[in-house]
Chains A and B, each alone.
Chain A
Amino acid sequence: MCSSDVQSRVMKVMANVLKIDEAEISPDANFIFDLGADSAQSLELIAGFEEEFDIEMDEDKALEIQTVADAVVFITEYVK
């Protein structure tokens, strides 16, 4: 899976969890500061990524993800 595929699926999950339009999400957008994710939504995003990509992310490492770009890099590693 290439990183652009990962990115589009990451954005789909984010739009779904944060209830925002995909068009509002830029690759550099910070989940918390730019997209307004609260603590529970941050966890839900991780759960969403796990389900979308059928992966099990390391609980604490996954919380390091702050932006769409972070998520893409992180998940691409897992998917490999």
Chain B
Amino acid sequence: MGFRQLKPGEITELENNLCMSDNWANVSVNENFNPSKIKNTRFSGMITIGNLSKDIEILEGIVKPSGISNSYIQNCSIGNNVYINEVKNLANYNIKNDVIIENVGLLAVTGETSFGNGVEIEILNEGGGRELPIYDKLSSQIAYMLVNYRHDSIFIGELKKLIKEYTDNKKSNIGTIGQKTKILNCIVLKNLNIGEYAELDSVARLENGTIVSSEEAPSSFGINVDAENFIALEGCKVNGGVVIDNCFIGQAVKIGKQYSAENSALFANSEFFHGEACSIFAGPYTVTHHKSSLLIAGMFSFYNAGSGTNQSNHMYKLGPLHQGILERGSKTGSFSYMLWPCRTGAFTAVLGKHYNHFDTTSFPFSYIDEVGGKSVLTPAMNLLTVGTTRDSGKWPNRDKRKAKIKRDLINFELYSPYTIGKMLEGSNILTELYEGASKKLEYVKHRGVYIKRLMLKMCKKYYKLGLDVYIGQELSKKIKSLETSSFSDFKKQLFAETVSTSEKWCDVSGMITPVNEINKIIEMVKSGELSCINCFEDKLRDLFNSYEEYAWKWTAGLILQTLEKTSQNIEKDDLIKLLENWDKSNSKLNNMILKDAEKEFDENSRMGFGIDGTPQEKEEDFKNVRGEYSNDKFVLGLEKEKEKVSIKVKELVKIIMMSL
């Protein structure tokens, strides 16, 4: 854009329009500058003004001519077709094309700032020691490693250096407001970088932050939001009296209805309403919607907090030093309480109040209930419930991220080498506990929880069903991808590379991956091979993209272990048996889930229906509001899935039988 000095006639016209400047020589304008577009405005410092010729839509149906009026502007570069009106203090900004700023108290950069980049938040452990520097490209994976891998101080040091290099480059005395951004009716906006297509409307105060936004994923901050020291990524919506202090807000995160959060990182697709977050690591899909829910000093993902959910991290001894982990897919029931430290396994439902410290990571898909003051674990129980299956289907469909680069790397699989590996671990523990328990015992105790002795054997059977389904699903995918008509080639390709099931996997806040591979990347950071934060991100993305490959190697190992065979002596019948087990176990599991779904339509579920009517009206009321079991979409879906698996198994068996 070429700029020129103002002509004497233009200065006269500007002054006639009640405009002023410390020095008109410092004001440069576009070649087509029209002084009639600027009224009652005072300029100070270096100013450039673009071509203000087009009309601009302020709100839907309200179109005004671009221009500058009734404002104070200092050291700003103003793009084409910008509309600025009633801005009491606008200083030190590079304002891109088509930006609207109206009725704003302060929009200024006051000295050098990194716009929230590099702010360290005291996450997970309120007592400190796990500080996370936030920045405008942070992913849940990098945050997870930085927060949790404190055993490796060299890695943490190197990673922090990479982040610092990046955040130091963000330092400036001048902020940016991206093209087509609208800022309306805000009070104080200080030291902010605001991306394109963002909307800030009726915000109370934003200080020291970056709002990343794009055309496909615009971010918005709304009425009475008060935020300080923050980074917000594309597609986030923050509204309704929210109070934010030292927080990272990930892509497509929603925060509203007077939520308050401090020292917390809230990753992709999470939702926070009404309650409070303090020092939490909210991995992807952390959801809390209700009042009186406090999430404190915990790590969550794919999580749903019931109303009144609460935890304690402070036992009035050395301070708020305790922390907790609810692995992916966990839920806490209404008014559930946990006394940190605790760790629950993946896809676990926690009900009641728990004053015991427990670790159930080896028992995914479980229930932890409070029975007479005891924390009672029912392993595998959640495999049989309708909620888990429903949740696993809904998450991929609820991925609201529209940004070109999806920062958080997310695997949605319900069954993966991570959860299946834990099931194997849990099954072994159940066997040991069963063999060591006297029949006189009602409960056995394990890592802070009580397990009903009677359930030890039974729950292992349920894990076996999950294991059969996983093997079948993965084997089916793999067989379909092979192109050969010879069984020996078939075997070669299936078992070309296997790893032992003792190889551990981890859930790096959404990304499911082998521990060994993560360790290799850590070593590359430590050795300097990965010398920038972008290289580190790319490496993690490569690993994420290799999930299927690694998962199959592990599954192939699991198949050989299950069959107690080697890749050489495996027979057609072995594979057929695995597929038939899949069909059988899938059908059993689905039948049990359907049985659970049936409860949602039983007599107890009808209580309160047909409020003033006859039993028949009660039936009709229930039917019209809740529908019927036999027509329920979820129920029909599960029935169909059973059939599909049976058909698929028949096809696959045929393929194996036909191979030479």
Residues of A at the B interface (CB closer than 8 Å) are 17, 32-33, 39-40, 43-44, 46-48, 50-51, 58-60, 63-64
- The answer to whether B435 has its CB under 8 Å from any CB of chain A is no
Give the contacting residue for B455; candidates A32, A43, A59, A60; CB below 8 A: A43
Chain B nearest Cβ from A29, distance in angstroms: 14
Give Cα A37 to B378, complex, Å. Answer: 15
Instruction: Judge whether B455 and A47 touch: CB under 8 Å.
Output: yes
Contact with A along B4-30 (1 / 0, CB 8 A): 000000000000000000000000000
Contact (A33, B592) CB under 8 Å given A40-B369, A43-B381: no
Give Cα A76 to B506, complex, Å. Answer: 46
4 A-B pairs with the lowest CB-CB distances in the bound complex, closest first: A60-B591, A47-B458, A47-B454, A60-B588
Which single residue of chain A is at the shortest CB-CB distance from B439?
Answer: A51
Instruction: Judge whether B457 and A59 touch: CB under 8 Å.
Output: no
Instruction: Judge whether B462 and A33 touch: CB under 8 Å.
Output: no
Instruction: Judge whether A60 and B381 touch: CB under 8 Å.
Output: no
Give Cα A63 to B384, complex, Å. Answer: 11
Instruction: Judge whether B592 and A40 touch: CB under 8 Å.
Output: no
Contact (A59, B381) CB under 8 Å given A44-B454, A47-B457: no
Number of A-B contacts (CB under 8 A): 55
Give Cα A33 to B603, complex, Å. Answer: 8
Residues of A within 8 A of B588 (CB): 58-60
Contact with A along B252-264 (1 / 0, CB 8 A): 0000000000000
Contact (A40, B458) CB under 8 Å given A33-B604, A59-B588: no
Residues of B within 8 A of A63 (CB): 591-592, 595
Give the contacting residue for B385; candidates A39, A44, A64; CB below 8 A: A39
Q: A40-B376, A40-B452 are in contact. List 10 more A-B contacts (CB 8 A).
A: A32-B604, A33-B604, A39-B367, A40-B455, A43-B455, A43-B458, A47-B458, A50-B457, A60-B589, A63-B592
- The answer to whether B596 has its CB under 8 Å from any CB of chain A is yes
- The answer to whether B461 has its CB under 8 Å from any CB of chain A is yes
Residues of B within 8 A of A43 (CB): 378, 381, 384, 455, 458
Chain A nearest Cβ from B440, distance in angstroms: 12
Instruction: Judge whether A40 and B454 touch: CB under 8 Å.
Output: no
- The answer to whether B556 has its CB under 8 Å from any CB of chain A is no
Residues of B within 8 A of A46 (CB): 458
Chain A nearest Cβ from B35, distance in angstroms: 76
Give Cα A50 to B457, complex, Å. Answer: 10
Which single residue of chain A is at the shortest CB-CB distance from B587?
Answer: A60
Give Cα A40 to B603, complex, Å. Answer: 19
Chain B nearest Cβ from A40, distance in angstroms: 5
Residues of B within 8 A of A60 (CB): 587-589, 591-592, 595
Instruction: Judge whether B457 and A39 touch: CB under 8 Å.
Output: no
- The answer to whether B533 has its CB under 8 Å from any CB of chain A is no
Give Cα A69 to B455, complex, Å. Answer: 23
Give the contacting residue for A17; candidates B454, B591, B592, B603; CB below 8 A: B454
Give the contacting residue for B367; candidates A17, A40, A48, A58; CB below 8 A: A40
Give Cα A39 to B366, complex, Å. Answer: 12
Chain B nearest Cβ from A52, distance in angstroms: 10
Which single residue of chain A is at the shortest CB-CB distance from B462?
Answer: A59
Residues of A within 8 A of B439 (CB): 51
Chain A nearest Cβ from B413, distance in angstroms: 23
Chain B nearest Cβ from A61, distance in angstroms: 8
- The answer to whether B420 has its CB under 8 Å from any CB of chain A is no
- The answer to whether B423 has its CB under 8 Å from any CB of chain A is no
- Interface positions of B from 81 to 105, Cβ below 8 Å from A: none
Give Cα A43 to B595, complex, Å. Answer: 12
Residues of B within 8 A of A64 (CB): 595
Contact with A along B580-598 (1 / 0, CB 8 A): 0000000111011001100
- The answer to whether B278 has its CB under 8 Å from any CB of chain A is no
Show 26 A/B contacts (Cβ-Cβ < 8 Å), sorted by A: A32-B599, A32-B602, A33-B603, A39-B381, A39-B385, A40-B367, A40-B369, A40-B381, A40-B452, A40-B455, A43-B458, A44-B452, A44-B455, A44-B458, A47-B452, A47-B454, A47-B458, A50-B458, A58-B588, A59-B461, A59-B465, A59-B588, A60-B587, A60-B595, A63-B595, A64-B595
Contact with A along B186-227 (1 / 0, CB 8 A): 000000000000000000000000000000000000000000
Give Cα A25 to B384, complex, Å. Answer: 27
Instruction: Judge whether B604 and A40 touch: CB under 8 Å.
Output: no
Residues of B within 8 A of A33 (CB): 603-604
Residues of A within 8 A of B602 (CB): 32
Residues of A within 8 A of B461 (CB): 59
Chain B nearest Cβ from A47, distance in angstroms: 4
- Interface positions of B from 463 to 510, Cβ below 8 Å from A: 465
Residues of B within 8 A of A44 (CB): 452, 454-455, 458
Give Cα A54 to B587, complex, Å. Answer: 25
Chain A nearest Cβ from B603, distance in angstroms: 6
Chain A nearest Cβ from B339, distance in angstroms: 22
Give Cα A32 to B457, complex, Å. Answer: 23
Contact with A along B363-391 (1 / 0, CB 8 A): 00001010000001010010011000000
Chain B nearest Cβ from A41, distance in angstroms: 9
Give Cα A44 to B458, complex, Å. Answer: 8
Residues of A within 8 A of B603 (CB): 33
Residues of B within 8 A of A40 (CB): 367, 369, 376, 378, 381, 452, 455
Contact with A along B345-370 (1 / 0, CB 8 A): 00000000000000000000001010
Chain B nearest Cβ from A17, distance in angstroms: 7
Residues of A within 8 A of B381 (CB): 39-40, 43
